[in-house]
Structure 1
Amino acid sequence: MNTVYARIGFCVLSLALSHVVAAPIKPAATSRAFAARDKVRMAEMNVDLAGAKELYLVVSDLGSNNSDWADWIEPTLVMADGSTRPLISLKWKKAESSWGSVMVGKNTDKGPLKVSGQT
């Protein structure tokens, strides 16, 4: 199982899996669309990753260019034996952003990650 928390602006987030390296990816879980006016803009995703070779965390801008951002809050893999592995401890193949920079432990403005006003 995998638990991923994200704080989101106007976007949809997805966890996508590929069971064969370089195979087409398909969403394993997708959140609802979030808007800045939403009081709660978080999604928890629990996904069975058995047999997966690659994991993609994707945020969509839904075709707009306004407030399209997401902060992945403590994305963690829960292994079959119950142990946990933070995704930030793993080597990434690639990370990209169409606006701003990809940051670890900070938001796109290089500030602290906050959830409901708490860091």
Structure 2
Amino acid sequence: MMKKGWVVFSVLLVVAAAVLLYAFRDRIFVKKVDDGGDESGSSEESVATASEFPLKRGSQGDKVTALQKYLNSVLALAPLLDPELDVDGIFGDKTAQACATAFGEPVCSEANYKAYVEGKY
């Protein structure tokens, strides 16, 4: 009877490990990236980068610009909350404060971005 319990436990442990490896495979394993410059077909290895979300202090780019435009439209509805943000594509202190007002935290998660900025949910 005790041996059966260990077998069940071992199977559950292996299944749990497989699920975790699958879920975090992009963060764990190295991807081969073709640099396009070498005709011999060799590839250069690079570590897979984490997702660009959550957007937080120091984040930059088009998604931050879109977020800042969205936050300005929200702030325009309640001008007493915060001053208008500079739409510069750089997530700084004012953007963090506006996110805290809009989302309840000083970062913008992927779900919040898709729901509010892109309007997909």
TM-score (structure 1 length as normaliser): 0.24
Structure (1 or 2) with the greater helix fraction:
2
Higher relative contact order (CA 8 A, sep 6+): 1
Larger Rg: 2
TM-score (structure 2 length as normaliser): 0.24
Structure (1 or 2) with the greater strand fraction:
1
